[in-house]
Amino acid sequence: MKAATPDQVRKLEDLPNIGKASAADLRLLGIQNPAQLIGRNPLLMYEQLCALTQARHDPCVLDTFLSAVRFMEGAPALPWWAYTAERRELLHAREKKR
For the chain, the average pLDDT equals 96
Judge whether residue 98 has pLDDT over 80.
no
- pLDDT classification of 94: cutoffs 50, 70, 90: confident
Nearest to 68 by CA among 79, 53, 57: 79
| CA-to-CA separations, 82 to 25, 40, 43, 53, in angstroms, rounded | 20, 19, 16, 26
- pLDDT tens readout for residues 68-82: 999 999 999 999 999
Integer Rg of the chain from CA: 13
pLDDT confidence of residue 97 = 85
Amino acid at 30: G
- pLDDT tens readout for residues 49-64: 999 999 999 999 999 9
Hey, what domains does the chain have and what are their CATH numbers? 8-97 (1.10.150.20)
